[in-house]
C-alpha cells in the first residue's frame, strides 16, 4: 500500500475536477505538489501543499482552494479527518483500519513490498569506479563504488534495465608510467642494481607482475626491442591489475556488467568516427583558447588546436580535442566514449565521478547534447572524499601503495557490509568520516549495529513465537478484521513502515541511495523504542501471556518490520544478521 501515491492521485483527481469546473486553468504544473509525512505528530499522518502551490500558480486564495480539496478528501474511505492549517497546508489523518490492512499487505507482498515501478524497462548506463588500472582499489574509490552499486540496485528495483560499466583507462600516459615501473621491478627481481624511475608507481604490488614475466620469459625481455618489450609488459600489467581490481570489487559485493577499454576504442578509430559526426554537424573548428587560470599571456604559448563547440551547449569555453602536434587531448577519449554510450541506445546515462572532476560536468553535458538523437537523461553525480579515523586520528593503514589505504586493508578492520552501509551515511556530495572504532561499537551511534540489532531482535521474537505455535502468517486472513486499537508507539512504527514505498521512489528518482540508509536507521529507532517501552510500568511484550489475539497482532507488526528492514538492506547489498555476535 503506497499511501503517499494514493493520496497524491486523489488530490490530483480533485485538481483536474477544478479544471473541468473552470475554477483552475490549464496548463497545470503539478510537479511541485507533494504529499509527505509531517515533522510534528499533531499535524496528522500526512500533509500536502497542493492548495499553496495552486494558489500561487493562479493567484487564487489558497485557503479557498484548501477548503474545496478538504471537502472532497473528507469523503474518501481511507481518510478519517482533514484540517486546514496556516496559510493553506492540508493535514490528513488516516482511518485506523488502513494501518491494520497495511500490516497484512506488507506480509503478503514480503520482498516485493516497496516496489514502485516507474522505470518501464528504460536502459540505463551507470558508469562508476573507473579507476586507472595502475594499482589496487583504495579508500578513495570505495565510496563511489558502493554509491554506484546501490544506485544500480535501486534503479533495477523500480523497473530500469541497468548496465553497470567500468571505463578502463588503459590508453593514457599513466600506462606508460606503469610499464616503466614494472620493467624496473622485472630487472630488480633479476638481481640487477637499478634505480626507481622518477615518474613511477611506488609500493610492492607490481612485483607479482614482474615475477609472472620472469616465469614466462626469463631474461628474454632484456634483449627485445623496446616497442615489442613494452607491448608484452603492457598486456601483462593491465590484465593483472584488472584481475586485482575485479577481486577488490567482488570483495565489496560489487560485480560489473561491462568493462569498456579506452585503448580498444582508440584502436577501432572511435575518436575519429566521433569527430566526423561533429564535423558533419559543424561542431568542430581550428582555433586557439585563452590561457588557463593561473597563467598569463606572457607565459602561455598560443597554439592552434582542434576545438569542440561546447559553448553552443552551455559550456564555459570550447574544448580542445586535438593538440597542435597532432596528439589527442585528455578530453578526446572521454568525448568518444560518451558518444559510444549514446550509440548503444541508452535512455539514461549516469556518471559517478570524484569531486575533483567537477570541472568536467559542463563539457560532458555538451557532448551528450551534441551526439543525442533522442531525449537522453544525463547526470553526473560527484562523490566527495572519505576520511578514515581510528583512535580519534586520521589513519594511513598501508604504505604498499604510496599513502593510500587499500580496500583489502580496510576489510581487515571491518566487514564489507559495514563499509557499504557507512559509505551511504551521508549524501554523496558531502565529505564523509569513516570512524572504525565507532563502526565496531555496539551502540545506537553505530547505524550498522543499530539496524542489524533490530532485525536480530525480531528474529529472536519470531523464533520464540514459532515454539509457542503463535505465527502471524497462519492468521493473515483474519488479521485485517482485528479491531484492537494500536498503542501510540506501535502507530509510530506502523506509520514509519508505510513510508517505505515513497522512500524507494524518492531515492530512485533523485539518485540518492543514502535515503535508504537514513530510513532504515529511523525504522530501527522506532522499533527499539517500542521494544523498550512500557505502559503502566508493564514492559511491552510482543508475546502477551493469556492473549493470543493481541500476541498475533503484535507479532504481525514485528514480522512486517523485519520485512522492511530486510528489503532495505537488500537494496544496500547487505545481508541482515539473524543474531548479534
| Domain final residue, candidates 416, 440, 464 | 440
Look up residue 574 and give its DSSP letter: -
The domain that contains 414 carries what CATH number?
3.40.50.620
pLDDT at 508: 97
**What's the CA gap between 29 and 366, in Å, rounded?**
28
Domain co-membership, 474 together with 567? yes
The arrangement of strands across the sheet holding 305-308 comes to 284-287, 305-308, 319-322
Separation CA 231–CA 371 (nearest Å): 34
Task: Indicate the helix (H) or strand (E) that contains 458.
Answer: helix 447-467
* Assigned C-alpha cell, 363: 563539457
Q: Which helix (H) or strand (E) holds 531?
A: helix 514-531
Q: Where are the beta strands (DSSP E) in 408-477?
A: 432-435
CATH number at residue 34: 3.30.1360.70
188-191 long-range contacts, CB within 8 A, separation 24+: 189/214, 190/214, 190/219, 190/222
For residue 33, how far is the Cα from the chain centroid? 25
Q: For residue 483, what pLDDT is reported?
A: 66
Residue 402 has what pLDDT? 56
Residue 521: the pLDDT is: 96
Residue 485, domain CATH:
1.10.730.10
Provide the whole-model pTM: 0.92
* pLDDT at residue 19 in the model: 79
The distance of Cα 219 from the centroid of its chain, to the nearest Å, equals 48
Q: Which residue has the cell 540518492?
A: 512
Q: What is the DSSP string of 326-391?
A: SPBPTHHHHHHHHHHHHHTT-SEEEEEEEGGGGGGHHHHHHHHHHH-SS--EEEEEEE--EEEEET
Q: How many CB atoms lie under 10 A from the CB of residue 33?
A: 19
Report pLDDT for 289. Answer: 84
Query: Which residue, 196, 272, 262, 260, is CA-closest to 234?
Result: 262
- In this prediction, residue 245 carries a pLDDT of 97
pLDDT at 530: 95
Say whether both 436 and 453 belong to one domain.
Answer: no
- The answer to whether position 176 is within a domain reads yes
Nearest to 113 by CA among 523, 545, 376, 502: 502
* Shared-domain flag, residues 201 and 80: no
Contact assessment for residue 516 and residue 571, using Cβ atoms and an 8 Å cutoff: yes
Residue 77 lies in a domain: yes
Residue 226: half-sphere exposure toward Cβ, Cα within 13 Å = 3
Cβ-contact 414, 439 below 8 angstroms: yes
How many domains would you assign to the chain? 3
Last residue of a domain, one of 440, 465, 486: 440
Please identify which residue in the block is written with the cell numbers 489475539.
Answer: 549
pLDDT of residue 363: 96
Kindly state whether residues 478 and 423 are assigned to the same domain.
no
- Indicate whether 54 and 85 sit together in one domain: yes
Same domain, 424 and 510: no
Q: Give the pLDDT confidence score for residue 459 in this predicted structure.
A: 96
177 neighbors 201 (Cβ within 8 angstroms)? yes
Per DSSP, 484 falls in state P
Q: In percent, how much of the chain has pLDDT > 70?
A: 95
206 in a structural domain: yes
**Is the domain of 427 the same as that of 483?**
no
Same domain, 236 and 211: yes
Cβ neighbourhood burial of 391 (10 Å; 0-12, 13-18, 19+): exposed
Are the CB atoms for 122 and 160 separated by under 8 Å? yes
Q: Give pLDDT tens digits for 211-243.
A: 999 999 999 999 999 999 999 999 999 999 999
Q: Verify that 42 and 136 share a domain, yes or no.
A: no
**Domain assignment of residue 102, yes or no:** no
Answer yes or no: do 451 and 564 share one domain: yes
In a domain, 267, yes or no: no
pLDDT in tens, the chain (581 residues): 789 999 999 988 988 888 787 777 766 677 888 898 888 777 789 999 988 888 887 777 888 888 888 888 888 888 999 998 888 889 999 998 899 899 999 999 999 999 998 999 999 999 999 999 999 999 889 999 999 999 999 999 999 999 999 999 998 889 999 999 999 999 999 999 888 878 888 888 999 999 999 999 999 999 999 999 999 999 999 999 999 999 999 999 999 999 999 999 999 999 999 999 999 999 999 998 888 776 766 667 788 899 999 999 999 999 999 999 999 999 999 999 999 999 999 999 999 999 999 989 999 999 999 999 999 999 999 999 999 898 888 876 544 445 678 899 899 989 999 999 999 999 999 999 999 898 888 888 889 999 999 999 999 999 999 999 888 777 676 666 666 788 999 999 999 999 999 999 999 999 999 999 999 999 999 999 999 998 777 899 999 988 888 898 999 999 999 999 999 999 999 999 998 86
Domain end, chosen from 36, 69, 94, is at 94
Distance in angstroms (rounded) separating the CA atoms of residues 543 and 541: 5
In angstroms, the CA 397 to CA 388 distance is 9
Same domain for 21 and 90, yes or no, is: yes
| Structural domain includes residue 186 | yes
| Residue 20 within any structural domain of the chain | yes
132 shares its domain with 172: yes
Are 51 and 14 in contact by the 8 Å Cβ rule? The answer is no
- Domain carrying residue 80: 3-94
Domain assignment present for 389 = yes
* Residue whose cell numbers read 509531517: 38
Amino acid at each position: 500500500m503506497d499511501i503517499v501515491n494514493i493520496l497524491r492521485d486523489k488530490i490530483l483527481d480533485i485538481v483536474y475536477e477544478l479544471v473541468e469546473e473552470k475554477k483552475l486553468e490549464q496548463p497545470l504544473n503539478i510537479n511541485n505538489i507533494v504529499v509527505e509525512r509531517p515533522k510534528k505528530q499533531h499535524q496528522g499522518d500526512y500533509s500536502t501543499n497542493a492548495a499553496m502551490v495552486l494558489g500561487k500558480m493562479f493567484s487564487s486564495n489558497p485557503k479557498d482552494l484548501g477548503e474545496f480539496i478538504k471537502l472532497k478528501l473528507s469523503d474518501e474511505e481511507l481518510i478519517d479527518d482533514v484540517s486546514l492549517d496556516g496559510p493553506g497546508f492540508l493535514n490528513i489523518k488516516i482511518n485506523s483500519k488502513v494501518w491494520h490492512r497495511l500490516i497484512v499487505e506488507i506480509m503478503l507482498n514480503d520482498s516485493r513490498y516497496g516496489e514502485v515501478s516507474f522505470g518501464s524497462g528504460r536502459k540505463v548506463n551507470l558508469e562508476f569506479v573507473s579507476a586507472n588500472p595502475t594499482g589496487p582499489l583504495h579508500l578513495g574509490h570505495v565510496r563511489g563504488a558502493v554509491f554506484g552499486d546501490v544506485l544500480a540496485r535501486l534503479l533495477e528495483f523500480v523497473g530500469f534495465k541497468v548496465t553497470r560499466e567500468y571505463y578502463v583507462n588503459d590508453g593514457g600516459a599513466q600506462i606508460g608510467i606503469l610499464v616503466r615501473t614494472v620493467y624496473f621491478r622485472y630487472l630488480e627481481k633479476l638481481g640487477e642494481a637499478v634505480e626507481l624511475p622518477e615518474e613511477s608507481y611506488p609500493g610492492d604490488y607490481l612485483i607479482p607482475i614482474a615475477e609472472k614475466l620472469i616465469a614466462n620469459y626469463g631474461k628474454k625481455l632484456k634483449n627485445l626491442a623496446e616497442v615489442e618489450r613494452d607491448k608484452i609488459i603492457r598486456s601483462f600489467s593491465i590484465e593483472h591489475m584488472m584481475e586485482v581490481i575485479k577481486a577488490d570489487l567482488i570483495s565489496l559485493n560489487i560485480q560489473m556488467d561491462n568493462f569498456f577499454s579506452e585503448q580498444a576504442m582508440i584502436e577501432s578509430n572511435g575518436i575519429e568516427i566521433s569527430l566526423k559526426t561533429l564535423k558533419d554537424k559543424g561542431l568542430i573548428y581550428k582555433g586557439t583558447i585563452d590561457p588557463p587560470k593561473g597563467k598569463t599571456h606572457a607565459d602561455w604559448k598560443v597554439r592552434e588546436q582542434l576545438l569542440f563547440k561546447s559553448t553552443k551547449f552551455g559550456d564555459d569555453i570550447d574544448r580542445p580535442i586535438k593538440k597542435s602536434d597532432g596528439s589527442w587531448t585528455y578530453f578526446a577519449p572521454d568525448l568518444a566514449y560518451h558518444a559510444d554510450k549514446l550509440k548503444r541506445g541508452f535512455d539514461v546515462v549516469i556518471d559517478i565521478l570524484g569531486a575533483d572532476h567537477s570541472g568536467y560536468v559542463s563539457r560532458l553535458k555538451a557532448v551528450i547534447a551534441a551526439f543525442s538523437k533522442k531525449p537522453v537523461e544525463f547526470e553526473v553525480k560527484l562523490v566527495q572524499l572519505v576520511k578514515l579515523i581510528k583512535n580519534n586520528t586520521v589513519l594511513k593503514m598501508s604504505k604498499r601503495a604510496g599513502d593510500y589505504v587499500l580496500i583489502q586493508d580496510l576489510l581487515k578492520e571491518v566487514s564489507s557490509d559495514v563499509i557499504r552501509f557507512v559509505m551511504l551515511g551521508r549524501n554523496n556530495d558531502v565529505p564523509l568520516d569513516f570512524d572504525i572504532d565507532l563502526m565496531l561499537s555496539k551502540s545506537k551511534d553505530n547505524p550498522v549495529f543499530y539496524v542489524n540489532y533490530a532485525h536480530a531482535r525480531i528474529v529472536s521474537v519470531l523464533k520464540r513465537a514459532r515454539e509457542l505455535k503463535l505465527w502471524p502468517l497462519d492468521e493473515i486472513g483474519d488479521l485485517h478484521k482485528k479491531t484492537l486499537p494500536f498503542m501510540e508507539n506501535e502507530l509510530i512504527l506502523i506509520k514509519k513502515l508505510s513510508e517505505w514505498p515513497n522512500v524507494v521512489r524518492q531515492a530512485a528518482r533523485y539518485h540518492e541511495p543514502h535515503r535508504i540508509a537514513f530510513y532504515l536507521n529511523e525504522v530501527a529507532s522506532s522499533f527499539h523504542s517500542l521494544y523498550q517501552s512500557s505502559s503502566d510500568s508493564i514492559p511491552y511484550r510482543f508475546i502477551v501471556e493469556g492473549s493470543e489475539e493481541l500476541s498475533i497482532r503484535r507479532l504481525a507488526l514485528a514480522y512486517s518490520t523485519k520485512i522492511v528492514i530486510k528489503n532495505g538492506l537488500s537494496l544496500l547489498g547487505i545481508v541482515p544478521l539473524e543474531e548479534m555476535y
